[in-house]
Structure 1
Amino acid sequence: MNIGIDKIGFYTPHLYVDMNQLAVARNVEPEKFTIGIGQEKMAIPPITQDSVTLAANAALDILDDRDKEQIDFVIFGTESGIDHSKSAGVYVHELLDLNPNARSIEVKQACYGATAAIQMAKGHIALNPESKVLVLGADIARYGLNTGGESTQGAGAVAMIISADPKVMILEEKSTYLTKDIMDFWRPVYSDRAFVDGKFSNEQYISFFQEVWKQYKEQTGRNLEDFEAICFHLPYTKMGLKALRTVLAETTEDVQERLTSNYKISTKYNRIVGNIYTGSLYLSFLSLLELKEDLQDGSRIGLFSYGSGAVGEFFTGILQNNYRDHLYVQQHNQLFEERKEVSVDEYEAIFGNTLPTDGSNIELDVTNDPAAICVSGITEHMRQYVNKRR
């Protein structure tokens, strides 16, 4: 049975700050942000958006009535969960009016969460071929103003339908993976901001890629020549390139050029959104699919997933015939075109405008947020959501 990605959608908030402007405000050479880490814009979530609404908005326009009836499993990968008990998947299930005879859960392992969800979904479809699984990866990367990690913040979500006989990409069976207990990035339950050992995390990212790639070659007999492109989890767009360069010597100059060129295309969406943790790898994959118009049906794509702490996995897929007919290129172009740039002062004000954590009730004005699904407030410790299309 062929199992894989049947549909893929994306959402990011309507606000962003230009990295050149942020660099000037932080007394940093702009090239450090735009070239050194490879970021041009950083998505800014207003108070009316959280991980739940980002994910729901990403899924909203890719689901039809048949999908809503066939989806019997919602798996939400995030490290920006809003509740220690109730899963974010349950909220999304209700906001999207999905079939009530379904499972809905949340999974967590840093930026690896959505990949774990996909692997779980494959097992479910293998046992239930008529089912569909909605996999979500949504996060808000938040480190703090004037911190070392500030330039790698971002916000957004990717939504995917996993099914039998998928229209976009078949996921091949073989994958290789690795777990090690390390402290390169973490966020204690008492903190709304992450802690990171940047140099150590970069080293571990590359080490994990080299290890799972070595395992993959040994177990499959494949090499770089067998891939049209390799997509990476991108905490910032230069990170994946650093890892890719460590293995390029294994192949010919022509293959090196192809993989490097396609890597650059795969980073374009991430460059103008920032880090979205669990969704970052799949945003990179989406960038490749939508922006490389001559990417051929039948191409094999490699994907490297990394979640600090740490879990890494290398897996692969084959693009299906006429896969481009099933993408949402125009919708995503419109999403980017309609975004609004904010000044650094406005960004800092938005960053500091957060939901109360002392149990206070709050009602939010959602009229300035163009998103269909928003956070509308908190009542008696319960977040309130609105779907404007109902």
Structure 2
Amino acid sequence: MHVRRRFALFAVTIAATPLVLVGCTADKNPAAKAGHGKHAAANPTVAVTPVDRTKDVPISAEVGAKVGGGKITAVRLTDDKGEQVPAEPREDGSSWVPTRPLKNSRTYTAEVTAAGNSGRTTTQKTTFTTAAKSTKPAITSVLYFRGDQTYGTAMPVTVAFDPPIPKAARADVQRRLFVKTDPPQPGAWSWIEDGSQVYYRAPDFWKPGTKISVRTGLEGLPIGKNAVGDVDHTATGKVGRQVSLDIDNATKQMSVYRDGKLLRRIPVSLGKPSTPSSSGKMVIMEKFDRTTFDTRGDPNGGYVVDVDDAQRLTWGGEFIHSAPWSEGEQGNTNVSHGCANVSATAANWLMGITQVGDLVTVKGTEVQLQPGNGWTAWNVTWDEFVKGSALPVPAGLQPTPSATPHPGAVAGGGSSPAPAPSASGG
């Protein structure tokens, strides 16, 4: 099946770049020297990055610190007007990440204080200047996760890129993507092969009631030598009730489950042999009370039709939707252009049951779902999913023979909005 990439839905733009603080260094100030004599071992050493008087620092800068003989007790970052810049530490304590991008062509001062075992402290100060606004092209990216929305338990945090991110840059991009869950439920990022999408999910489905907070701290970050990130966004949503749809081509029936209990079976008509539906695990991506399918220009299309109660499953144009014209075939014959046709009454009922992020499993059709044709994070096992990470997967999340969920803390590793998709289906 030919997949046409479409960026839109509830779009939030973002972009990408490396973690490391880089720039043209005018001078390097060594870490504060330890004390002398009998107190030498008691004074911790602190080395801060960016080093003092560094210029042309990206506005995505983090304050890094290495401490010898002690631990960090305080970090303070201020701008050239004396205003403090809020920042949060990474889980491993390697750096402090400002909660918003810095401003171009401004000077900032970072002060890091560390205490030794004896209680003696050392404070290291560094001043750096950010770069002017970049003239390099920005990579357009979309975060498919909106704040203040309730999602299904299979909702993957999805970031899409145009153009795709090359393999050499994916680790740097991934370091700047952060996810937190409450209650904690750890997960990992995984890239599809062409680098056009990256997904974040846990080994098992999200628990109902979970709050998911996402930050894409990517504005101003260089991507290789020729591109830069466009924007930086945050969003917090929550997980609703557990709903799943199972569609079996052998029986031409859809089984609708909520919290593991069967609610209803619905007759369906899937794609005819010349335009088969995809088999695999999909996620409801968006919902329309009414939309227009325009397939003119598609290899097997050429029609325009208005449809009611449509729910997108793939970028290629597969939907669940009302199809009163095929109610005589539903439950016995496949006549659609790839969509799951249901009756008008059933489609309306489904719209009140489902959520964006609910799992839809289709089995027994002539073709398999292609990676990236929709949010396909659940179409592979956890063992296969984590192979797509550009960074090492934490020990607690590495595949195990039982593949059981592992509870614990979660950490993440001037835009042109992406064009809206033209709805197609049948």
Where is the strand percentage greater, Structure 1 or Structure 2? Answer: 2
What interval of TM-score do these two structures reach, taking the shorter chain for normalisation?
A: under 0.3
TM-score (norm 2): 0.24
Please give the TM-score of this superposition, normalised by the length of structure 1. Answer: 0.26
Larger Rg: 2
Which protein, 1 or 2, shows the higher relative CO under an 8 Å CA cutoff with sep ≥ 6?
Answer: 1
